[in-house]
Structure 1
């Protein structure tokens, strides 16, 4: 027996027997690889940023004094041309079937409907697209691409071992946790993000490997970047009772920013795609046009370009006036919607943090004018606003609360944020009918807001549960009630109920549509019950 076969048997047996030390070790390995993946993504963005604007990181505003408006327009335009070529290559190679870079929503979909399978080539190409996009200054975040890259690398590690579906899904969570932990230097929040957003549950068996991966990813980042956070946060002063009372309106305002951002991103992408198809404009040719529009915005307001952490830090320190903050919120929403709608790579994590910081800083300035200098100050409200908007956009209130706590070490700010983000998340998800990631997954017809019961009906097909038959020995008229082998379980069960049948033959859709199997109504219901039981056990053990 080869060494790989021995390792594979050990891992599989350890998992199926309920002993998970092997998965803990895999979690550490995934944490190392995904942590370095997040670092590589960050350094690559910085490198392209330096080549394009002679400034590393998210320092577009710093470069504004040394660059002309024309340069701010030409750099995103050039980046759009390169991204267009990468999308064209991905389309021709059939790596990117939808001619777009992949992100967090695709990781969630892989967990929910593809047993944790993530393909390597599309994931690596998506990372290259995101690096080019963010390096040339368009408005998006790097955490989404980092999470997808971490999940891709985790899947690459898990695939040769032949892990069961549950273990493969845990590995996706490990990759996501390590990427978030490495990005924000926040291991607790990284682990919680994996549970809250990627896996959608807090099963005990998943905790150890995901925690191991998240801590490892944070350690890797600290080795190379130190214990400093992603962006500078000023000291948070103690909050008064009046400050805490003022948090409630901020929660409503955060929802007022998050709702148009989510709706605009989803509808903008759909609208641009529909118009491009009506005009027979190839989707891979959209980024240059989007880059031109973002560049024009950046020429007047370079603070909205790129990841935006520099401008976020300035807002946290109270460096912008209320009028400028309001303008930057509007321009950032527009620039990010254009960026994502025109097929650039990038995420929504950083833009939502940016929007929240600007909102909170402006609101905090108003509160300071009313309460005077005795209150907690602008930084307190900017931090709370940052977490409230991002938590509402991502549908991850607990993760964002912990990120703020790990970045600030302020218990009062975390308590205030928990109030604001709860209000903002409830209002936003009520208005948008789900988080931005769930809305993106809905493009493929999967409704994850209804839980496993709906997903099972949408993923199990007739061929998975039929009893095969030799079609050379079976005859039947096409008019006879039947189902097709690629029909989903929900359609099969609905067919049986509507036609009042106890079973039906299964046909192929191609050719003469021969009969290839038979499904009994009882078998369909039994398959549904087994799948529900398996999902329940995975989420609660």
Structure 2
């Protein structure tokens, strides 16, 4: 090590020790840094999507419908097929070098899992691999959203920045939320919605101690994004005239329809994902073949209906302008649902928020158009109902009614639909919860063994391990084969169930590799004490 390098290392350590002494100020300072860094990450992610889209369709992602429409059917069909082959190659490399778990790109559900059970850590290699796979997928026409990968990328950047700076677990979780909020803010140019998304979806609480840093990160990201990309809403809303009192109950009816639509989409995606996995396993088909197979089907749908390609924001803009006939809008709703379900089940990268917006916009515009035909002059313009449909469908799919409502406000710049939008989002979310019982993210988490609907107590019972709370002891006398025992890998919930079943005050603990050698002891009292302490810590974190 050179002399100058040694001096720099010593200086860095002194600065690090000084920064670590400032507690809450350190969290605020790094929240701002995370916000700016995440914004640049999202901007770079969007540029990569545009570059791939230019190669695939001759237009950036924002003009993908026009680009695909101008191509020959076979040429448009080939784009997602070739994209699927590239994604397969990327998944192969990611699996070989252990960059992605289970051979799939990650998203919002993985960030929630990192907050709940991972100590706020997200792998850098996983984050970069997910962003790369998702950028190729979306640029090549896969029907999904860019916001899920963007949130994962923001959380990755937050995890990198806070990993070596001495933050405790609570602060790491808060900074993880900062990364997610910044990503939403940068993706939608929606700083308020970014804050509420992080609190509502990622952290699952509205504690005052995390609100400030998350707001700072979201504002920082919005400033950076507006400097580089401008300060304009994602969608330009045409003039649509005044709305009346009758439009609120009609919006409620649209919310009911969007609730059924969102439920159908969630169940179709879930069943298709499980069906594709079971089919591949039974036929011995490698998961590496799924993206090109999915690309073949998505390519056929997109070549016939270019509005289903990619993120779909140009299609939303055209729907808001009234460019589509009512019957075509109804067909596009079904085609977008099918294309998205196939995309997500075949291991392309992407999220579900943008598809929710597109599906809702098509459904709302069709609903408003039918009202205009059946009851001319009675209701507001189809544009009005398209905006309400965007919020109702996407909010029900995500299970995030508050942040989704604000995202629609900030993306359209139109707050005149406030009452009708809130009514529609609330009804759509209620219907979806009634029919499906969970949001898209909670369904993904349930496949990994986590049920967040149980609240903090359920997570605690599943994530605390016996090895963390047992009384350790040197390896002792061997146990007989029929003696009751716990294993170090058992969860606290499994341990308490075993103690109740055995009707014992405590049980010896063994390692799974040596099931007959005692390495510790766990009493019922100690297990319950650990559970109570974790509950208290969770309560403090969620309410302070």
TM-score range, shorter-chain basis? Answer: over 0.9
Shift of 1:31: 0.5
Distance 1:65 1:246 in 2: 34
Alpha carbons of structure 1 residues 538 and 4: separation in structure 2 relative to 1, 3 Å: farther
1:263 equivalent among 267, 274, 291: 267
1:206 aligns with 2:210: yes
Q: What is the aligned residue count?
A: 536
Q: Show the counterpart of 1:528.
A: 531
SS in structure 2 opposite 1:202?
Answer: coil
User: Over residues 278-320 of structure 1, what are the superposed CA-to-partner deviations in whole Å (9 max), with x where a residue is unaligned?
Assistant: 1111112210110111001111111110111001111112221
SS in structure 1 opposite 2:447?
Answer: helix
Q: Show the counterpart of 2:312.
A: 308
Alpha carbons of structure 1 residues 6 and 270: separation in structure 2 relative to 1, 3 Å: farther
1:148 aligns with 2:152: yes
1:505 aligns with 2:495: no
Q: Show the counterpart of 1:289.
A: 293
> Is 1:12–1:164's contact at 8 Å kept on the other side of the alignment?
no
User: Over residues 390-430 of structure 1, what are the superposed CA-to-partner deviations in whole Å (9 max), with x where a residue is unaligned?
Assistant: 00000110011111222334333122111011111111022
Distance 1:323 1:540 in 2: 50
Q: Show the counterpart of 2:400.
A: 396
The TM-score with structure 1 as length reference comes to 0.96
> Is 2:142–2:298's contact at 8 Å kept on the other side of the alignment?
yes
> Is 1:143–1:350's contact at 8 Å kept on the other side of the alignment?
yes
Q: Show the counterpart of 2:6.
A: none
1:129 equivalent among 127, 133, 145: 133
> Is 2:235–2:412's contact at 8 Å kept on the other side of the alignment?
no
Q: Show the counterpart of 2:283.
A: 279
Q: Show the counterpart of 2:519.
A: 516
Distance 2:303 2:69 in 1: 11
SS in structure 2 opposite 1:352?
Answer: helix
Distance 1:407 1:234 in 2: 14
Shift of 1:9: 4.1
2:372 equivalent among 354, 368, 377: 368
How do 1:170-181 and structure 2 match up within 5 A?
170-181=174-185
Shift of 1:30: 0.5
> Is 2:236–2:412's contact at 8 Å kept on the other side of the alignment?
no
Distance 2:516 2:62 in 1: 58
Shift of 1:376: 2.8
- CA-atom RMSD, angstroms? 1.5
1:490 equivalent among 476, 482, 493: 493
1:234 aligns with 2:238: yes
Shift of 1:146: 0.5
Q: Show the counterpart of 1:415.
A: 419
Distance 1:433 1:9 in 2: 48
1:449 equivalent among 443, 448, 453: 453
Q: Show the counterpart of 1:474.
A: 477
Q: Structure 1: any 5+ residue segments left out of the alignment?
A: none
SS in structure 2 opposite 1:98?
Answer: helix
Shift of 1:4: 4.2
SS in structure 1 opposite 2:376?
Answer: helix
SS in structure 2 opposite 1:234?
Answer: coil
> Is 1:238–1:412's contact at 8 Å kept on the other side of the alignment?
no
1:426 aligns with 2:430: yes
> Is 1:404–1:414's contact at 8 Å kept on the other side of the alignment?
no
> Is 1:236–1:408's contact at 8 Å kept on the other side of the alignment?
no
> Is 2:462–2:492's contact at 8 Å kept on the other side of the alignment?
yes
Shift of 1:8: 4.3
Shift of 1:104: 0.6
How do 1:214-253 and structure 2 match up within 5 A?
214-235=218-239, 237-253=241-257
Shift of 1:13: 4.2
Q: Structure 2: any 5+ residue segments left out of the alignment?
A: 1-8
Distance 2:240 2:504 in 1: 67
Alpha carbons of structure 1 residues 282 and 11: separation in structure 2 relative to 1, 3 Å: farther
Q: Show the counterpart of 2:3.
A: none
Distance 2:493 2:234 in 1: 45
Q: Show the counterpart of 1:343.
A: 347
